[in-house]
Structure 1
Amino acid sequence: MKRNILRACTGIGVSCLLAVSGTSVAKTAENYTQRPEAQALISELVEQGFSKAELEQVLDQAKKQKSILKAMSRPAEKRLTWGEYRKLFLTKKRISQGLKFWQENRQTLQKAEQQFGVPAEIIVAIIGIETSYGRITGNYRVVDALATLGFDYPRRAAFFREQLKEYFLLTRAEGVDPLSLKGSYAGAMGLGQFIPSSFNSYAIDFDGDNKKDIWNNPTDAIGSVANYFAEHGWKNGGTVRIKAIAPATAEQDWFNDGLKPKLNMAQWRARDFSSAAELDDAEMVSLMRLEKDGKYQDWFGLHNFYVITRYNHSRLYASAVFELSAALKAKR
């Protein structure tokens, strides 16, 4: 492997952060059609009006990608500290490119912010972290990625077979060849890296041309990201993250205990915690401890921080989105 490019991949519960670049992609012909699981999937789709022969024709051409299975075994968010992860995304180049993307799409971003209540800088940061503003959207055929993971990755095979089913529904609805679309090694697609189920649930036609083109149309990609956040409960004007001040008596298992807030500020204050900014006692927050340059940072994640983790289930990812968005806003 010549080099690794770290990028995030949108999804419901999907963490897929190690895209392979600069290497040859190993392709192994697999007769996926004959797998019992594939036949079960085909039967489900036939009941929804698909042609069995056409489905088998597509799956006959799906190829096992060994590099995908290798990448799935090394998720970056489990290997890197916050400081290491941050350096990959909080760069001058990514900020500069983000400001250019913002300027080029300012009217669309303004429209999305007004319609969905999601700040432009959050939308830009998501697209920036996911694909460097559309520069790196993935080189795997989506059908290869989903077949490889759906039939040869037992740990999450059921999930990815469901994504393969959603993919066939997507390509039928959008009128595209299922062998034509490319994406990440986990089957995420477009500027915002939507997995098929996310596309089917949240992608929108934001420019009124009767197409949901998140691959080549920044307008649809921006609207789709904003819609995703709105549908997951983004609070317009809400805070994302605030510095936490921990007492010396804080127990280690209080930190990083899940992504969804479990305690409110009154309960944290009862444990002698305080915050850098005033928060209501009823505010539900999560407590995280992140390592950067050998030192630890403590933070409270509020509701909107949790919403960001619905896009990618990682506090490192959500922290990177938040900090990149803040850097972009500060330079506007």
Structure 2
Amino acid sequence: MVSLKKILTALILIAACAHSMGANGKKHHKTKATSKPAVAATEGTPYGQREDVMRAADDIAQRRNLDPAWVRATLSKARMVPAIVRAITPPAVGTPKNWALYRSRFVEPIRIKAGVKFWLANQETLARAEAQTGVPASIIVGIIGVETIYGQQLGNYRVIDALTTLSFDFPDAHPRKAARAAYFLTELEAYLSLTQRTGTDPMALRGSYAGAMGWPQFMPSSWAKYGIDFDADSRVDLFHSQADVIGSVANYFQAFKWQRGMPTHYPVQFDMARLDQAALMAPDIVPTFSPPTMQDKGVVLDAAGQAHPGLLALIELQNGAEPPTYVAGTENFYVITRYNWSSYYAMAVIDLGQAVAQAVQAQTGMPK
């Protein structure tokens, strides 16, 4: 029997997968580093001793118009960190998923209390972001809470070590090793470009084992594409500016076509006599079915779900040995999964944001 501890560990690893973000750095100013110490900064093999990495450094320099000597010198200081390889290795096949257990990791008193404090400290900024993008404050707050408990857990790995390790020593056990290693190489390139452009020491920044950075855990490409200067101080700072964090998360969702005023999901029941679950589950979390089509296949929607103007997906959240939880996910539910490809993650963001909103309303009398 798989222990509860092992299940929880596997689920946390799934949740911690990196997002794919970036930002058009209009303003080129230095990004401050976090003050937390690096994890295993001196552990492992120096990459300067590997010819394949030095050849890659020259290719990166050419593609990104960077100084080859600087890229070589930077990568030569990076270290292979075995803990990163272990962290990115997927859990064993057959490890059960459990939505109730997963949810309890994120929708809990510590995060809710921290979320209330964050919301009250940033009411005007959250309202401005929502007004400009249509992304609800609760979703923005939910993302930041799930990712880093509002800046409390930013990650202690040197970003250069994480990205270099995953570019050149991605675990063979992963079923998509080639594609994932190629992805992290593009993120390494983006990181080198970002730090060079902003005058930041590439050895200084700390983040997750996957190289995600700051309060919203943006990958380097996302920092470059979606990070915005929301506090008008002429730089994008996702480590220290809560306004930039809020604006950038909202901008990310707007870029992925968040639809103003649209719910994220609707409750469902099943007409077992007509249920075609195989067809409903085939598209996974991609909205595919109109409400009438979904009902024809045996899904019973409430009045709001029946009136939904777009497409829906049947979302299944497994509960271990207990029956799964199902909802009908909208296009906006799918947008949340662009931050992290997981229906469990998206629902945790939604539920945490709602829990914080309710706590703020109870404490202040503010409308939700």
1:124 paired with 2:141, answer yes
Q: Is the 8 A contact 2:18 2:210 kept in 1?
A: no
Letter in 1 for 2:20: I
User: Any residues of structure 2 matched to 1:89-168 within 5 Å, and which?
Assistant: 89-153=106-170, 155=177, 156-168=180-192
Q: Is the 8 A contact 2:258 2:335 kept in 1?
A: yes
Question: Quick one: distance in 2 between partners of 1:38 and 1:313?
Answer: 33
1:26-66 per-position Cα deviation (integer Å, ceiling 9, x unaligned) = 81023356343552343232354321111111111100111
Q: Which residue of 2 aligns with 1:313?
A: 341
1:69 paired with 2:85, answer yes
Q: Is the 8 A contact 2:20 2:218 kept in 1?
A: no
Match of 1:206 among 222, 230, 245: 230
Deviation at 1:301, TM superposition (A): 0.2
Q: Which residue of 1 aligns with 2:33?
A: none
Gap change, CA 1:89 and 1:109, over 3 Å in 2: same
Question: Quick one: distance in 2 between partners of 1:281 and 1:169?
Answer: 43
Deviation at 1:290, TM superposition (A): 1.7
1:12 paired with 2:20, answer yes
Q: Is the 8 A contact 1:10 1:130 kept in 2?
A: no
Letter in 2 for 1:62: A
Give aligned-pair identity as a percent: 36
1:174 paired with 2:198, answer yes
Q: Which residue of 2 aligns with 1:21?
A: none
Question: Quick one: distance in 2 between partners of 1:281 and 1:98?
Answer: 30
Between the two proteins, the alignment pairs up a number of residues equal to 322
Q: Which residue of 2 aligns with 1:82?
A: 99
Gap change, CA 1:161 and 1:304, over 3 Å in 2: same
Q: Is the 8 A contact 1:41 1:161 kept in 2?
A: no
Moved more, 126-135 or 208-217: 208-217
Moved more, 163-172 or 249-258: 249-258
Q: Is the 8 A contact 1:9 1:130 kept in 2?
A: no
Partner SS for 2:224: helix
Q: Is the 8 A contact 2:207 2:214 kept in 1?
A: yes
Gap change, CA 1:32 and 1:158, over 3 Å in 2: farther
Q: Is the 8 A contact 2:214 2:239 kept in 1?
A: yes
Q: Which residue of 2 aligns with 1:298?
A: 326
Gap change, CA 1:281 and 1:56, over 3 Å in 2: closer
Gap change, CA 1:251 and 1:32, over 3 Å in 2: farther
Give the alignment's TM-score, normalised by structure 2.
Answer: 0.81
Q: Which residue of 2 aligns with 1:287?
A: 314
Gap change, CA 1:199 and 1:306, over 3 Å in 2: same
Q: Is the 8 A contact 1:174 1:212 kept in 2?
A: no
1:270 paired with 2:286, answer no
Partner SS for 1:28: coil
Gap change, CA 1:135 and 1:256, over 3 Å in 2: farther
Question: Quick one: distance in 1 between partners of 2:146 and 2:112?
Answer: 10
Larger relative CO (CA 8 A, sep 6+): 1 or 2?
A: 2
Letter in 2 for 1:329: A
Q: Is the 8 A contact 1:8 1:129 kept in 2?
A: no
Q: Is the 8 A contact 1:42 1:55 kept in 2?
A: yes
Letter in 2 for 1:207: D
**Structure 1 gaps, min length 5:** 14-23
Question: Quick one: distance in 1 between partners of 2:201 and 2:242?
Answer: 21
Question: Quick one: distance in 1 between partners of 2:130 and 2:328?
Answer: 25
Q: Which residue of 2 aligns with 1:231?
A: 255
Q: Which residue of 1 aligns with 2:65?
A: 49
**Structure 2 gaps, min length 5:** 22-38, 362-368
Question: Quick one: distance in 2 between partners of 1:273 and 1:114?
Answer: 34
Q: Is the 8 A contact 2:57 2:68 kept in 1?
A: no
Give the alignment's TM-score, normalised by structure 1.
Answer: 0.89
Q: Which residue of 1 aligns with 2:35?
A: none
Gap change, CA 1:8 and 1:174, over 3 Å in 2: same
Letter in 2 for 1:167: Y
Gap change, CA 1:198 and 1:148, over 3 Å in 2: same
Question: Quick one: distance in 2 between partners of 1:124 and 1:76?
Answer: 32
1:163-215 per-position Cα deviation (integer Å, ceiling 9, x unaligned) = 00000111122220111111000000000000011111100111111111001
Gap change, CA 1:32 and 1:316, over 3 Å in 2: farther
Deviation at 1:114, TM superposition (A): 1.3
1:118-143 per-position Cα deviation (integer Å, ceiling 9, x unaligned) = 11111011000000000000000000
1:247-296 per-position Cα deviation (integer Å, ceiling 9, x unaligned) = 21424433374221122112111113221343337520010222347132
